[in-house]
Structure 1
Amino acid sequence: MASSDWKVIGASGFVGSSILARLRADGIEASPIEAPRLATKQTDPSAIIKEARKLEGIIDSLADSFAGAEVVVNASGLAAPNQQELRPLLGANALLPAVIAIAAQRTGVKRMIHMSSAAVQGPVRTLTDSTATDPFSAYSYSKALGEEVLIRLGDFVEETAAAGVAPGSTESSFPPAPSSAPVSVSPHHALELCIVRATSVQGAGRKTTESFAKIASSPLASVAGRKMRKSPVSSSYGLAEFVSMVGQFEGRLPRIVVQPWESTTAESVLIDAGRRRPLHLPAPLCAAAVSTGYAVSSLLQGRLQGAVRRLEVMWFGQDIDDSWARSHGLIPEPRVQEVLRTAHLALGKKSDRKYD
């Protein structure tokens, strides 16, 4: 696919700024677009799509920014794993993606890449590109809902395009955009929509990375047993490179792809971030502690879900099925070790003398 012009929504954020920098380093003409702030109380995908279609002013504004774009990357959203208030999460992570997709289709954009989170699948043993989700927090619920909304929109666009009444075309009841200078959209044009599920992305300046380095540098650093388990901890560099690869991919993209594994294990990420070897706790004891934590969290209306899940991932890791990316050679350079070691140095702590 040609890379003449990309638009990155949310380019001032942690993930968006990394993506924009990578695209420009790859010689891609990319421009940042500020994300509008939205909120909603809707939790039904159809209701969210209906609400999105009514926001003609925002659709027009985005469409005007999309003029001539080949690829639109939605790196906006509210990354707040511990937040309980649902309205802003739903607005940023479900309603806004729908508005962006509608504007992109009605402006003739060829491809939209939406940044989601592997958290939508919950505590599964292996992260996959399955549409099945099991959110465990308000944040993961909003991201999962955003995926469902986009999948429904994608199916609708493909069905109408196949019938020759694609949204944005003169044959459709959904007009082209922007209204001030509407573009010409083919009645068979279908926006190619791809959802990228980011794993546990770490990088400079991110609070979660600093917190992880603090834990890894402390006596609390531990793993379950001595079995080598893969870790979903990854780098912002790897994610940005992967997005660039996906956007430039010449073939048809799957509806959902998973950020590839960066060759980390539950133990290796703690060593890199803490410069000390973690404790090896009995796996049955860790499993019992996690189960108890989830039970207590349920009694507290899920307030501890995020903390328990992070502990579970630290102890047991999580496998990643990135077979699609590997089968097509879309594997970014692993740089998570560099990120984690830099995070440790930023704490100003020395390495454990016993560390080899």
Structure 2
Amino acid sequence: MTAVAVLGATGFVGTAITEHLRESGIDVHRVLAPRLTSSGTTSDDLLAQLSARDDLIDELSRCLDGADCVVNAAGVADATGGDWHSLCGANALLPLVVQRACREVGVKRLIHVSSAAVQGRRHRLDESDGRHAFSAYSRSKVLAEESLQRMGPRPHTVLFRPTSVHGPSRSVTQSLARLAASKAASVAGEGQSPTPQVLVDNVGAAVAFVATCLETPPPIVLQPWEGLTTAGLLRVLGGREPRRVPTGVARRLVTAASWAGRQHVRIAGHARRLEMVWFGQDQERGWLATKGWQPPVGKEGWRRLASTVHSNVRVGDGS
């Protein structure tokens, strides 16, 4: 691939993708993503809305003309949000507009940055079509994947699933680092369960690899595990040993929080975060690992992240 267009290039993940592509000598074209809203709840709803957006598709097609690959990194990354119109428009309808525009100008490959959240609470994340939404955010991501797969084989579309992505500017990272450094830091049992937490630089590198590889990637690609356990994550971010919560007690509390999340949409995302901190989640090795791809930033990156976040917190507090 010699020319790549990136939607959402100035966003959290999009910036990392753009930087890695340019470091590889790729011609990168930043494309402004249109702001969309939608009340749709099914693929049929979205496809009907798509058929009425020829003007937008034509406009976006002109922006994407000449690209060998398009990366859609645009969207609303609010895991605890409840504004369905905003989430559905940005995370589900927009990807369909992008795919249709790619088809119009003959783009060969489209990479849609989805989320491992589409698989919900399943024991082991993988690169299958198995999906289970647990929140408004995850439902919007599931709807995008299902709808894109219905759109046909052109362009070749890759659903790229990053796991929990971290960087110094992200609020969820800052909250986790504060928790890890506090007396409330805790894990279920011995804390040896794997947890799918990744650095944004590594996500950028992985997407850049998928965008430029000569081999045709599979339709679903999962971001590889970075080797962290639940206790190890809190240890590296907080610099202290987390407390151990008996597994049975932790499981009952997570079950209660998940039930509350079914009654109140904003609680669902927080309940899932609690479950991830205590229990983590396993994942398969995946296509990138079989190709020999390795995250360019290792454990030292997590230590730098922790130092940066805690320094920013101290500055913000005036200490």
TM, length-normalised to structure 2:
0.94
Spell out the pairing of 1:107-186 with structure 2 (5 A cutoff).
107-153=105-151, 156=152, 158=153
Gaps of 5+ in 1: 159-189, 351-356
Q: 1:291 to 1:252 in 2, by over 3 A?
A: same
Does the 8 Å contact 1:229/1:318 carry over to 2? yes
Q: Deviations along 1:79-126, whole A, 9 cap, x unmatched?
A: 111111201111001100000000001100000000001111111111
> Who is 2:69 aligned against?
71
Whole-angstrom distance in 2 between the partners of 1:320 and 1:227: 16
Partner of 1:174 in structure 2? none
State the distance in 1 between where 2:21 and 2:92 align. Answer: 25
Shift of 1:26: 1.3
Select which of 264, 286, 291 maps to 1:301.
Answer: 264
Query: Contact 1:246 / 1:330 at 8 angstroms: preserved in 2?
Result: no
Corresponding position: 1:276 with 2:240: yes
Structure-2 residue corresponding to 1:256: 220
Contact 1:53–1:102 (CA under 8 A) maintained in structure 2: no
| Preserved CA contact (<8 Å) 1:209 1:340 | no
Alignment-derived partner of residue 58 in structure 1: 56
**Which residue number in structure 2 is paired with residue 183 of structure 1?**
none
Give the paired residue count. 313
Are residue 324 (structure 1) and residue 294 (structure 2) matched?
no
Correspondence for 1:165: none
- Pick the aligned partner of 1:202 from 166, 178, 199: 166
* Matching residue's letter, 1:237: D
Q: How far apart, CA to CA, are the structure 2 residues paired with 1:46 and 1:80?
A: 24
The Cα offsets for residues 24-82 of structure 1, whole Å up to 9 and x where unpaired, read as 11111111111100011111202212311321121111111111100000000111111
* Map of 1:315 onto structure 2: 278
CA distance in structure 1 between the partners assigned to 2:123 and 2:300 by the alignment: 23
The 8 Å contact of residues 233 and 336 in structure 1, kept in 2 or not, is answered as no
Does residue 265 of the first structure (1) align with residue 229 of the second (2)?
Answer: yes
**RMSD of Structure 2 on Structure 1 (CA):** 1.6
Residues 235 and 336 in structure 1, CA contact (< 8 A), matched pair in contact too? no
Q: Is the 8 A contact 2:191 2:231 kept in 1?
A: no
Matched, 1:292 2:290: no
Alignment-mate amino acid for residue 234 of structure 1: V
**What residue number does 1:235 align with?**
199
Larger radius of gyration: 1
Shift of 1:334: 3.9
With structure 1 as the length reference, what TM-score do the two structures score?
0.84
Gaps (5+ residues) in structure 2? 315-319
Corresponding position of 1:37: 35
Please tell me whether the aligned partners of residues 98 and 150 of structure 1 are also in contact (alpha carbons under 8 angstroms).
yes
Residue 13 of structure 1: aligned partner? 11
For 2:110 and 2:158, how far apart are their aligned partners in 1? 6
Rounded Cα–Cα distance in structure 1 between residues aligned with 2:75 and 2:45: 19
CA distance in 1 between counterparts of 2:204 and 2:134 reads: 26
2:175 aligns with: 211
- Alignment match, 1:184: none
Match of 1:48 in 2: 46
Aligned partners of 2:43 and 2:143 also within 8 Å: yes
Question: Offset at 1:297?
Answer: 3.0
Give the drift of 1:255. Answer: 1.1
C-alpha deviations, 1:165-197, integer Å up to 9, x for none?
A: xxxxxxxxxxxxxxxxxxxxxxxxx31100001
The answer on 1:101 being equivalent to 2:99 is yes
Structure showing the higher helix proportion among its residues = 2
Could you tell me which residue of structure 2 aligns to residue 161 of structure 1? none
Which 10-residue stretch deviates more, 233-242 or 123-132? 123-132
Identity %: 36
Deviation, structure 1 residue 347:
2.1
Give the whole-Å Cα distance in 2 for the aligned partners of 1:117 and 1:223: 24
**3-state secondary structure, aligned to 2:265:** coil
